[in-house]
Amino acid sequence: MLLERAELRVVSLPLLRPFRTSFGEIRDKTFILLRLYGEGLHGVAEGVMDARPQYREETISGALALLREAILPDILGRRWENPEQLTRHLSAVRGNRMTLATVEMAYWDLWAQARNLPLSTVLGGVRNEVPVGVSLGIHTSVDATVESAVRHAEQGYRRIKLKIQPGWDVEVVRAVKAALGTLPVTVDANAAYSLADLNVLRALDDLGLDYIEQPLAWDDLRDHAKLQALMRTPLCLDECITTAQDARKALETAACRLVNIKVGRVGGHLEARRIHDVATSFSAPVWCGGMLESGVGRAHNIHLASLANFTKPGDTSSSSRYWARDLIHEPLETRGGLMPVPAGPGIGVTLDLPFLESVTRHTEHLGPVTVPVTAV
């Protein structure tokens, strides 16, 4: 398939309500939206990097420069037979997994559309709907957190995840657990603790959580292995895992017992599928995490989560929890704790272009192709 041109946008989508984590509070989700054009079709994906390097080291401004100056000029005007070929070519770029994922995911959408197949089908998915949990940010009080957790449990969500940070952990988790009974509850620390906080982490260990997500530093497998040896509760790694090799090392060293796979974090769908397969070989479950994506990124996540080893409820909850109006026409809404996989070609959703224009901060175009097409 010939990649003819690309469109880069910076989009800022206002959240219905602020979302607070140990990193701080988010009121608007700002992200890169990439469209790749070829042979009368276009594929779309969004970048999950932030304006500041808080979650991982990539930033929106850095990703835009890399896409504009190096990656897109290198791949436009060339024919790519399949995503594997494109990904092999892009592997010459060191790091920058989120930026590479933006390109790879857009091409997967385009390639699947050209075959008139849903993305889940070409990825090897095995289900038409995926189990869904909900991620709750840090609230203003314990009572407000409990009320929100109970309300979402009543809506059918199959797991409640609480964002925590030092000083906002044991008390609120204990209260939510008491209110929800047997419904699985997890916590996500976003790397906010260290081994010096072992007393707090051991107190959390006594609360019967399904797992504790990324309690320690974003790049530290060794201390996670030390902590897991001291804990009954499984640890789940997120920020630490960007490749299948990371997943193998984490599971071999018992730094975790399950993995959060975010396709935008790990370089795209191919690497996400490799991580899924590595975890399967260790009999370790995986689940699909989220980065407050719009309907575009959410649709990509849902298709990925249709693979067999995504057995834990993911973060692909209803779009209406986050946005008064999404970027896409199709509603992505849960039913009884299950999210239907969009059925159309590619990611199965279409952009609401007038609304997209209204929330776009910046647009630039690369192409159309004016150079001879070269074989790869």
SS3 assignment for the chain:
CECCEEEEEEEEEEEEEEEEECCEEEEEEEEEEEEEEECCEEEEEECCCECCCCCCCCEHHHHHHHHHHHHHHHHCCEECCCHHHHHHHHCCCCCCHHHHHHHHHHHHHHHHHHCCCEHHHHHCCCCCEEEECEEECCCCCHHHHHHHHHHHHHCCCCCEEEECECCECHHHHHHHHHHHCCCCEEEECCCCCCHHHHHHHHHHHCCCCCCEECCCCCCCHHHHHHHHHHCCCCEEECCCCCCHHHHHHHHHCCCCCEEEECCCCCCCHHHHHHHHHHHHHCCCCEEECCCCCCHHHHHHHHHHCCCCCECCCECCCCHHHCCCCCCECCCCCCECCEEECCCCCECCCCECHHHHHHCEEEEEEECCCCCCCECC
10 Å Cβ neighbour count for 224?
23
- Annotated active-site residue in 163, 177, 226, 249: 163
Known catalytic membership, residue 163: yes
- Annotated active-site residue in 29, 161, 177, 262: 262
Known catalytic membership, residue 262: yes
Which residues are CB-neighbours of 62 under 8 A, at least 6 positions away? 49, 99
The residues that are catalytic are: 163, 262
